[in-house]
Structure 1
């Protein structure tokens, strides 16, 4: 699997965090907070795969461009970055040795924690 860092997704996540679009949820909450398949499909129908991809930290270059399978390591719900999603991405990327994605998620994690300490 040729999964690499999705720079557009990483940059978008940094923008959202800087703008305060962050949910400070608990580590294990992503399974409850992640968008449903229906919500993903509605988002793709309305905005297209290019925008859908910006909500993911990884791209699988072995998958076709206009498929959900191409995009890995989601970090939000199409409105906000979720701390739990970033933590999940950081952990899973490390587990699968995707070091560039793990480092990007760790950077986002640090940004989120810094924002949390200013509130």
Structure 2
């Protein structure tokens, strides 16, 4: 698999964090917070594939850009970045030797934690 860092998604995540659109949840919360397949499908129908891609830090350019297989390492629920999603994705990226993606996720986590003055959602 040839997965690379999705730069537009990284810019999108940073902007969301700067705008305070963050859920400061814990690592294990991602299993409940991650969008379901039906929620993903609804989002794609409503917003399109480009917007869907902006919620995934990994992209496999060998895959059709209008399939879910092209995108990996989700970090949010299509409205906010979830700290738990960032942690989960960082862990998986490191386990699969996607170091550029792992490092980008670590930087996002640092950005979230640096600005951790808001309430935990």
**TM norm. shorter chain > 0.5:** yes
Q: Tell me the residue number matched to 2:38.
A: 38
Cα distance, 1:63 vs. partner? Answer: 1.1
- Give CA deviations for 1:69-105 in whole Å, capped at 9, x if unaligned: 1000000000000000000111100010101100100
Q: Normalising by the residue count of structure 1, what TM-score does the alignment of the two structures yield?
A: 0.97
Secondary structure at 1:72 match in 2:
strand
Q: Normalising by the residue count of structure 2, what TM-score does the alignment of the two structures yield?
A: 0.95
**Larger % of helix: which?**
1
Q: How many angstroms apart in 2 are the aligned matches of 1:109 and 1:88? A: 11
Q: How many angstroms apart in 2 are the aligned matches of 1:89 and 1:105? A: 7
Secondary structure at 1:30 match in 2:
helix
Contiguous gaps of at least 5 residues in structure 1: none
Q: Tell me the residue number matched to 1:18.
A: 18
Contiguous gaps of at least 5 residues in structure 2: none
